[in-house]
């Protein structure tokens, strides 16, 4: 007969304390709000213009949905600027004049929009037209054959 053995209470407490000791740094970091993303300081457009004139801007990223501009300064600080609707083109031009490449949140450089070529749309439309013409031709040929067969 097998006898069930229980783990002694001090061992259970020691294992619990070891688990808590390992989890404490992780929970402290998450409670403090430590993340890998940079913290952005919100500034006005006047401060942005002064930083641009002073050559303090290293990189710029636009978030077009919320109309904000994330700037990385040469000092390493991160700045967030909100701009009014339809001012994006003016901001991009000012950044380009200073030699700063601006990007979107998806990592694509901002520039003039390229014209989309709808070549595939025209190919599919042409193929559909050819299919329709063939179906109409087959229907017409069948009608003639049936009309010819009824005459005999």
Write down the domain spans for the chain.
Answer: 41-104, 115-146
Q: Which of 132, 114, 64, 73 is nearest to 92 (CA)?
A: 64
- What's the confidence (pLDDT) of residue 78? 92
Supply the pTM of this predicted model. 0.48
- What's the confidence (pLDDT) of residue 35? 46
- What's the confidence (pLDDT) of residue 126? 95
Name the token pair of 40: 């952005």
**CATH number for domain 41-104, candidates 3.30.499.10, 3.30.720.210, 3.40.50.720, 3.30.1330.60:** 3.30.720.210
67-76, 107-116, 143-152: range with highest mean pLDDT: 67-76
Confidence grade of residue 151 (pLDDT, cut at 50, 70, 90): low
32 vs 25, 26, 64, CA distance in Å?
10, 10, 30
Taking the C-alpha atoms of residue 75 and residue 39, their distance in angstroms, rounded to an integer, is 14
């Amino acid at each position: 007969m097998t006898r069930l053995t229980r783990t002694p209470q001090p061992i259970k407490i020691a294992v619990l304390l070891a688990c808590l000791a390992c989890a404490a740094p992780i929970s402290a970091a998450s409670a403090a709000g430590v993340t890998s993303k940079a913290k952005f300081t919100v500034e006005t457009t006047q401060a942005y213009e002064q930083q641009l004139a002073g050559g303090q801007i290293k990189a710029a990223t636009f978030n077009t949905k919320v109309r904000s501009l994330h700037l990385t300064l040469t000092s390493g600080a991160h700045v967030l600027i909100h701009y009014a609707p339809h001012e994006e083109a003016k901001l991009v031009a000012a950044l380009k004049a200073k030699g700063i490449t601006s990007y979107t949140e998806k990592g694509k450089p901002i520039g003039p929009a390229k014209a989309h070529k709808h070549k595939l749309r025209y190919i599919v439309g042409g193929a559909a037209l050819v299919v329709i013409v063939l179906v109409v031709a087959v229907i017409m040929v069948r009608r003639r054959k049936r009309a010819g067969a009824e005459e005999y």
